[in-house]
Structure 1
Amino acid sequence: MKYLYLIRHAKSSWADDSLRDDQRPLNSRGTRQLGAMGRAIRAAGVLNGPIFCSNATRARQTLDGLIPEDLRQNTHIVPELYTFNYKTLINWLRNRQDEDSITLIGHNPALEELASYLLQQAPDSFPTCAFMQIALPVKHWHKLARNKGRLEQFLTPKDVSYEQFNRKRKKMPGGNDTPLARHIPETLQHQYLRMRDLETGVIRGFDSEFLHQYRIAIRRSRAIAESVSEISGDSNLRKATRALKRHAQATSQLRDLHVLLADLERWQLEEGTESALISSGARSYFANLADLEHQALAKRLCSRKYQKDMDEWFQLITSHHFEKTGRKLTTGDIRKALDKRIKQHNAQARQLSTQSPDDDYHSLRKLLKRIRYLAELDKPAFRAMLRQLKQRQQRFGDFQDLHVQIEMLTTFRDGIATEPDMFEPVAGLNDLIAGLASEKAGVRNDILTLGGIDGHPVL
């Protein structure tokens, strides 16, 4: 079995008419395509064999951006690969020797037509900086034949980079000056399509921003539907949101691990604490946990149950009954529901103290989120309140993140405490946990001074 990896150069510039075609460099978009794609193709195994690159400037810059110089042990610049004719590539490949895998960095239409020659069903297009892995059931490269290859993997920048995915995406219906209540069905349909489009990036797992945006879409969908259900009393809608809640909750652990891993890289730590993280293997431990959580989430998103839930959700939000329900909402209805939630919030806030368990703060955070989503049904009417709610949510979110991080680090510390030679790492972890606990106490005090919402007194 032979493996062929095809990489099309990243997006190139046409700004300078005086340059020959082979001298054209990458443009800014092409440069931005490289980071996430580099991680993806290295994970796919392109470094296991030789890499052959066209001598065109845009191809060589793609090679430089995808694969760091210290990892390029077996790379070759081949002028013959600067071609737009797939037959040239086939002839070149047939003259290769015993390499088990070969990576080509080249140009369209040659790469796209080469894939069409080797595969029975090739992708419809081969965008800039895209990557294709093809398995070839041959012992020698000169045995290459039409339609004998098997597509193992096909990735585009939009699959692995949220920034590239989000280019020129359609915005939600309406705007800040239009009450959401006037276009709830359209908004939920937009969020549904966004969730489905984001799933590929979540499953691929190369950019954590896909998961973050997916969580926003599914939680916002649930919150809007729950708000409509609360105001309208629609029991069918309330039932339908339970599936969204389950799927949203299934993303929480992975999100928390992503935040912790990012913070472990971001924090400016004392030398002893940094040494403790290294010697204890904490980063590897949490990275492995994140990998396991990602595998479980990817399996969920590919399951029949998930697909069924999403299909049923789409049928509901596109139904005539739901459209009628959404159109009936008024600012008065929203204000009534808001007043009820705000009074509930302020009653709970009055019970908070420095001695209250973290669960009480967590409960108030969730209630605050529901209040905000209710207010977002009519942004023009509740714009001032929304600014206040966003600031409050930020502090509650900080508190929750610190709570989770302390729990995860404490569990890890306890797990290694009895192992030999772990006295110093445990001491370093204790310092980190104590620092986070002190920061959490400060956030707790900030929350206790926030007061009531929208003029409703807490004291």
Structure 2
Amino acid sequence: VMQLITGQLKLPRVHETLLDEVLAITGQAPDSGKSAVNCGLKRSFNTWEAERILLQQLFGVMQINEPGLREAIDTEFLHDYRVAVRRVRSMLGQIKHVLPDNLLTYFKREFSWLGSVTTPTRDLDMYLLKFDGYVQSLPKELQQHLEKFRLFLQRHWKIEHARLCRVLDSKRYRKLVGEWQKLLANVDMPLLEEPSQQGQAQEIVNAAKPASIVARQRIWKLYKRILKEGGSITPQSHDEDLHELRKSCKKFRYLIEFFQAYYSGKSIKKLLKTLKQLQDNLGDFQDLCVQIGQLNGFAEQMQQEGLADTRTIMAMGVLVEKLNERKMALRAEFGRRFESFTQPENKAAFVEALQVQQLEGVTE
């Protein structure tokens, strides 16, 4: 092939990619791991010191990705931004008694709001990314009739993206960013604050405790919750039960990834591998639950807007049937995935890695 290209077509061979040339001309360097959190935690850190570093890194991820999501360069910018927001929310919700209640309440509410206002654009991103797969899943005679649905998605994506950009320019968002920067800039907050009452002291009781102990305690509690929630799921359980288990698994995974420097080892990595397999099953199942519901809603909305004819509605109906078949297959697969995660050897290795015996008698 190379001989054909260089010999007959007379095209020169280059030693740098176009991206390398562009970066060299603009004086920029590629950024690795836009959604990654490189913890660098020390065992000597108290909980506030560790949490502050993690939250700073997550805020950095948000800032790196914000220009790209505004300009709609690639769907991954919004995705990575939302993952960072979810991880911030998980940290605030799971590592308790570190921030004063008034601050915690404010930031939990505002980051929840930020997650919700970015959801519509991301949902439409996902439908457009999956669209070719939707088309291929249909019988050939129906495939062309799905094109009006693509136009509907593209139209509403533009509306939602413009709305999201307005949110990012809003006073509420600017206030959140400013207050968040102020919090993360305070190295000793909340440790230097002198609580005037016993109740106020209880609000930040974990701030000065070793981060490794507080994190281990919470990770172990989440692990027990997963075993309980997953063990209670039967073929007759509601879809919402699997969704709740999925959320617990996500919080559990985030905490292990945040504090992996304290609990590194093969046992943790093995557990995370089986956890990922379980999460993939639960995540795909939940995505299909949402898609099936939203597709039915989209069909009604398209009719109201005069954008769909009978053949388009028929094609979307067949698509919903195909997705429902996939959903049932994932539901049947859940039991095997959960059984693999709860294997006795996995639990024993995890208990050893966390040194759970040291947690006996410790209360949150």
Matched, 1:29 2:23: no
Match of 2:253 among 360, 372, 396: 372
1:169 Cα deviation after fit: 7.2
Partner of 1:333: 214
1:434 aligns with 2:321: yes
| Residue 455 of structure 1 pairs with residue 351 of structure 2 | no
Tell me the CA shift for residue 260 of structure 1: 1.1
Residue 413 of structure 1: CA displacement?
2.6
2:35 and 2:83 in contact (8 A); partners too? no
Could you list the per-position Cα deviations for residues 142-176 of structure 1 after superposition, in whole angstroms to 9, with x for gaps in the alignment?
Answer: xxxxxxxxxxxxxx9x9xxxxx8636979744459
Q: Distance in 2 between matches of 1:372 and 1:171?
A: 14
Q: Please report how far the alpha carbon of residue 300 of structure 1 lies from its aligned counterpart in structure 2 after TM superposition.
A: 0.6
Check conservation: 1:406, 1:433, Cα contact below 8 A. yes
Pick aligned residue for 1:307 from 142, 167, 174: 174
Q: Report the secondary structure of 2:96's partner residue.
A: helix
SS at match of 2:258: helix
Provide TM-score, normalisation by structure 1.
0.58
Alpha-carbon distance in structure 1 between the residues aligned to 2:299 and 2:36 = 45
Q: CA deviation at 1:250?
A: 1.5
- Are residue 222 (structure 1) and residue 103 (structure 2) matched? no
Shift of the 321–383 alpha-carbon distance from structure 1 to 2, 3 Å rule, reads: farther
Matched-pair contact (CA < 8 Å) for 1:178–1:378: no
Relative to its length, the structure with more strand (as a share) is 1
Q: Judging changes above 3 Å, is the alpha-carbon distance between structure 1 residues 379 and 199 closer, same or farther for their aligned structure 2 residues?
A: same
Letter in 1 for 2:94: S
Unaligned runs of 5+ in 1: 1-22, 35-126, 130-155, 159-163
In the TM superposition, residue 215 of structure 1 has moved relative to its aligned partner by 0.9
Q: Deviations over 1:252-290 (max 9, x none)?
A: 221121111111124533313312202xx1001111121
1:346 aligns with 2:227: yes
Compared with structure 1, are the counterparts of its residues 24 and 437 closer, same or farther at alpha carbon in structure 2 (3 Å cutoff)? closer
> How many angstroms does 1:441 deviate by?
1.1
CA distance in structure 2 between the partners assigned to 1:406 and 1:362 by the alignment = 15
Q: Distance in 1 between matches of 2:152 and 2:66?
A: 26
* Greater helix share, structure number: 2
Structure 2 counterpart SS, 1:229? coil
- Residue 440 of structure 1: how far off its partner (Å): 0.9
Tell me whether 1:359 sits opposite 2:245 in the alignment.
Answer: no
Does structure 1 conserve the Cα–Cα contact (< 8 Å) formed by 2:222 and 2:248?
Answer: yes
Per the TM alignment, residue 217 of structure 1 is displaced from its structure 2 partner at its CA by: 1.7
> What TM-score, normalized to structure 2?
0.71
Question: What secondary structure does 1:362 align onto?
Answer: helix
In structure 1, the residue matched to 2:8 is none
For each residue in 1:418-438, what CA deviation from the matched residue of structure 2 results, as whole angstroms up to 9, or x when unmatched? 979933332222221111111
Letter in 2 for 1:438: E
User: In structure 2, what is the Cα distance between the partners aligned to 1:406 and 1:170?
Assistant: 29
Higher RCO (CA-CA < 8 Å; seq separation 6+)? 2
Give a deviation string over 1:156-199, Cα, whole Å, max 9, x none. 9x9xxxxx863697974445998996743223212213312322
In structure 1, how many angstroms separate the alpha carbons of the residues matched to 2:184 and 2:96?
Answer: 12
Q: CA offset at residue 394 of structure 1?
A: 1.8
AA aligned to 1:328 is K
Contact 1:179 1:377 in 2 (8 A): no
Q: Establish whether residue 241 from structure 1 lines up as the match of residue 108 from structure 2.
A: yes
Tell me what 1:166 maps to: 31
Matched, 1:398 2:264: no
> 8 Å contact 2:246–2:282 — kept in the other structure?
yes
Which has the greater radius of gyration? 1
Tell me how many residue pairs correspond in the alignment. 307
Matched, 1:190 2:57: yes
Return closer, same or farther for 1:420/1:175 CA change in 2, 3 Å cut-off: closer
% of aligned pairs identical?
A: 25
Q: Which residue is 1:147 aligned to?
A: none
**Which of the residues 421, 424, 436 maps onto 2:311?**
424
In angstroms, what is the RMSD of aligned CA positions?
3.7
Quick one: distance in 2 between partners of 1:169 and 1:353? 39
Measure, in 2, the Cα distance between the counterparts of 1:420 and 1:377: 47
Distance 1:383 1:316 in 2: 33
Q: 1:297 aligns with which of 156, 159, 164?
A: 164
User: In the TM superposition, what whole-angstrom CA distance separates every residue of 1:66-111 from its partner, at most 9, and x where no partner exists?
Assistant: xxxxxxxxxxxxxxxxxxxxxxxxxxxxxxxxxxxxxxxxxxxxxx
**Which stretch shifts more, 184-193 or 171-180?**
171-180
Residues 168 and 455 of structure 1, relative CA distance in 2, 3 Å threshold: closer
Give the 3 Å change call, closer, same or farther, for CA 353–322 of structure 1 in structure 2.
Answer: farther
How many angstroms apart in 2 are the aligned matches of 1:179 and 1:389? 29
State which of 68, 71, 74 in structure 2 corresponds to 1:207. 74
Contact map agreement 2:149 2:312 (CA 8 A) in 1: no
Equivalences for 1:35-46 in 2 at 5 Å?
Answer: none
Distance 1:361 1:297 in 2: 30
- Deviation of 1:322 after TM superposition, in Å, equals 4.2
* 2-structure distance, mates of 1:179, 1:212: 33
Do the aligned residues in 1 keep the contact of 2:85 with 2:111 (CA within 8 Å)? yes
1:255 equivalent among 89, 104, 122: 122
Mapped partners of 1:306, 1:252: distance in 2: 16
Q: Per-residue deviation at 1:204?
A: 1.4
1:285 aligned partner, one-letter code: F
Alpha carbons of structure 1 residues 277 and 364: separation in structure 2 relative to 1, 3 Å: same
Counterpart for residue 271 of structure 2: 385
